[in-house]
Amino acid sequence: MHSLRWLLSLLAIALIGSACAPSDARPPANLEASAASLYQQYGAALAAGRRGALAAFYHNEGALTVLNGVARRQSGEELNRYYLGAWTPPTYFAWEDMAFDSIAPSQVLVTGGFRWQDSGEKDTTRYIYAALLVVVDSGLAIVFEHETQRPQQ
């Protein structure tokens, strides 16, 4: 039941997200390849702790972020302040099993996971990840991002 609610919420956000794409923005020729490239760059910026680069991966109007069930709507400026201020970079970061699915001419659903290691921790923590990207003038941008710590198996 929890999975169904999560999926329905994600689909509702995808529909809402379609309003975020400017009508004059042209989609990249291959949305999935563009999304994969964006996530290579995003992952490299996270792994290197490049604070000043991180907010640029999100829509300039902001995004809805959900971390372990806590939702926050943040403007582009709030995201920038967060990454330049309170955010602590990981000592290790890597994406896992990422999938990129075009769900509309201007939207890509991203699913997978990642490993994150905090400073001082002996091992990484695994997360389940989902995001919605929309087409913007510069290519693609995150408008929704969901991260949940993966249950221990």
Report d(CA 41, CA 61) in Å as an integer: 20
**Least trusted range by pLDDT, from 17-26, 74-83, 86-95, 106-115:** 17-26
**What is the structure's pLDDT at 24?**
55
Kindly tell me if the per-residue pLDDT of 88 is higher than 70.
yes
Q: What is the pLDDT of residues 40-78, one digit of tens each?
A: 999 999 999 999 999 999 999 999 999 999 999 999 999
140 with 108: CB under 8 angstroms? yes
- What sections of 63-140 are H helices per DSSP? 76-84
**What is the structure's pLDDT at 3?**
45
Domain extents in the chain: 2-18+26-149
Report d(CA 80, CA 75) in Å as an integer: 9
Residue type, 125: T
**What is the structure's pLDDT at 33?**
95
Report d(CA 89, CA 6) in Å as an integer: 28
CATH number for the domain running over 2-18+26-149: 3.10.450.50
